[in-house]
């Protein structure tokens, strides 16, 4: 704990932590130390973990990096937090992110951007940028993030670490501040597959507080069968995309060749629906977000405008002053696609397309065990890069959103280093609930 507290202090410029629980962490360390002496400590004894600021922890502040939750303290802990604590993990603080987990750069935080520790002129990715930056800089051993469309995997790729999004329905969302409820999943960041697997196993499994969690048994990763030879698919149109950095393509091709040389079957498949992924994702997630964020009304939680004088102005001014630009854009977009006259044209169509993606994905995993792609088309971009066109930023999510649209498990792990010195991640996904096989397989690659 002292080691991490020192590092956090020394790396304040990264702006990864929004709050550090130094006193709590020291007190817990003493208790766990005694448990260790008595041989009664849990599976995560002494593991120092940071949590994204959209996961609630009883009697601690939580803000989703938004001004609208300013001063709000949680009355309860998320199921994942309870499970980590029950195994004697030490929670060292809450980590910066894009406001309400909307973004890919961590520049949409009301508390300022996070820096990439590998190159502090670059973004760490987002929305779980603080979670990635903290682990990459060694400010904690592991961290939790949330992934609605890549927010764990993309920052893991940008910072050269491991980030895992389990199947939808594997880990309880109880206590996760909702962005798009049918896409959101909590998952770990770490510097080894082993730590990812350990955290996943502790957090996964049925929860009375979240009915969307499957009652299926959580298979132990360690006791999953030897991986053997795999059938691996990749999307031909993804690799041919003009949008892909040529070095990312080359590194991916090298991985494909290596997998083949190792005796796996690797094949290009056509997936015409790839072009619809980003539009489907942004229509459905903004629709869900517009509904989920209706609760921030200036009355129930956190921030209330000092200029409000009646009910209407309380809503209007609190929301106008409390939400940042990206969140407003998404609420507007989501409200638009759900409004009468446009519902059939956008929301209804996107739902149907989502169903097609799910069916085609299930069909794909009848013929293949795994799906491979680069995690992102480019490496981390400059912190001060102008961002005039939000759709340009949205297109960068092309490879990650598929796993959330279809609910499958997906991991990003280091693939190569670009000639610009920044890391590139590779992504492997598997059929729904095959996380044990997936993790076992990627462990053979490192």
Residues that bind ligand GLN (CB under 6 A): 101-104, 127, 146-151, 179, 285, 397
DSSP string, 212-258: TS--S----STTSPP--S-EEEEEHHHHH-TTS-HHHHHHHHHHHHH
Active site residue 52: yes
* Given 63, 105, 127, 167, the catalytic residue: 127
Q: Which residue is nearest to ligand GLN (CB)?
A: 151
Contacts of residue 252, defined as CB under 8 A and 6 or more positions apart, other chains included, come to: 234, 239, 372, 373, 374, 415, 426
> What's the min distance (Å) between Cβ of 53 and ligand GLN?
13
Active site residue 127: yes
Q: Confirm if 125 and 154 have CB atoms less than 8 A apart.
A: yes
Q: Which CB sits closer to ligand GLN, 177 or 436?
A: 177
368-395 burial string, b = 16+ CB within 10 Å, else e?
bbbbbbbbbbbbbbebeeeeeeeeebbe
Q: Which CB sits closer to ligand GLN, 100 or 365?
A: 100
Q: Confirm if 220 and 360 have CB atoms less than 8 A apart.
A: no
Q: Which CB sits closer to ligand GLN, 149 or 377?
A: 149
Q: What share of the chain is helix, strand, coil (3-state, %, to 5)?
A: 40, 15, 45
> What's the min distance (Å) between Cβ of 54 and ligand GLN?
9
> What's the min distance (Å) between Cβ of 31 and ligand GLN?
34
> What's the min distance (Å) between Cβ of 101 and ligand GLN?
4
How far is the C-alpha of 378 from the C-alpha of 157, rounded, in Å?
A: 10
* Given 151, 157, 410, 429, the catalytic residue: 151
Helix (H, G, I), strand (E, B) or coil at 309: coil
Q: Which CB sits closer to ligand GLN, 333 or 371?
A: 333
> What's the min distance (Å) between Cβ of 397 and ligand GLN?
5
Q: How many CA atoms lie within 13 A of 357 on its CB side?
A: 23
Closest CA to 322 of 300, 297, 344, 339: 297
Active site residue 432: no
Q: Which CB sits closer to ligand GLN, 1 or 424?
A: 424
Helix or strand holding residue 189 (H, E): strand 185-190
Catalytic residues: 52, 127, 151
């Amino acid at each position: 704990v002292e080691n991490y507290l020192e590092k956090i202090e020394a790396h304040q410029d990264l702006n990864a932590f929004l709050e550090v629980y130094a006193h709590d962490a020291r007190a817990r360390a003493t208790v766990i130390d005694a448990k260790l002496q008595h041989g009664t400590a849990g599976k995560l004894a002494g593991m120092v973990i940071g949590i994204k600021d959209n996961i609630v922890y009883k009697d601690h502040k939580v803000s989703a990096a938004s001004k609208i939750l300013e001063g709000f303290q949680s009355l309860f802990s998320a199921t994942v937090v309870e499970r980590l604590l029950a195994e004697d993990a030490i929670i060292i603080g809450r980590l910066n992110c894009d406001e309400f987990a909307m973004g890919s750069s961590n520049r949409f935080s009301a508390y300022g951007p996070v820096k990439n520790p590998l190159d502090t002129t670059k973004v760490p990715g987002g929305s779980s940028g603080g979670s990635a930056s903290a682990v990459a800089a060694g400010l904690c051993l592991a961290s939790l993030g949330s992934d609605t469309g890549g927010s764990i995997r993309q920052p893991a790729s940008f910072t050269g670490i491991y980030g895992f999004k389990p199947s939808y329905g594997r880990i309880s969302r109880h206590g996760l501040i909702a962005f798009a409820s049918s896409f959101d999943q909590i998952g770990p960041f770490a510097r080894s597959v082993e730590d990812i697997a350990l955290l996943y196993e502790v957090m996964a499994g049925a929860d009375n507080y979240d009915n969307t969690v499957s009652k299926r048994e959580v298979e132990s990763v360690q006791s999953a069968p030897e991986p053997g030879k795999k059938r691996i698919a990749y999307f031909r149109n993804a690799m041919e995309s003009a949008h892909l950095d040529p070095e990312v393509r080359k590194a991916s091709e090298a991985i494909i060749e290596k997998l083949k040389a190792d005796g796996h079957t690797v094949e290009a498949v056509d997936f015409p629906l790839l072009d619809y992924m980003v539009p489907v994702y942004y229509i459905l997630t903004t629709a869900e977000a517009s509904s989920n964020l209706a609760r921030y009304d200036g009355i129930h939680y956190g921030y209330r405008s000092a200029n409000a004088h009646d009910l209407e102005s309380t809503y209007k001014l609190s929301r106008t002053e409390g939400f940042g630009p990206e969140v407003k854009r998404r609420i507007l977009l989501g409200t638009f696609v759900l409004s009468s006259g446009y519902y059939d044209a956008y929301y209804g169509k996107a739902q149907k397309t989502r169903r097609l993606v799910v069916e085609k994905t299930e069909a794909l995993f009848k013929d293949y065990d795994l799906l491979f792609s680069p995690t992102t088309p480019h490496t981390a971009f400059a912190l001060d890069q102008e961002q005039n066109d939000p759709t340009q930023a949205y297109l960068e999510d092309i490879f990650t959103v598929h796993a959330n649209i279809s609910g499958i498990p997906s991991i990003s792990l280091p693939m190569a280093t670009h000639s610009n010195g920044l890391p590139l991640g590779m992504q492997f996904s598997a059929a729904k609930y095959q996380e044990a096989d997936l993790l076992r397989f990627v462990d053979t690659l490192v």
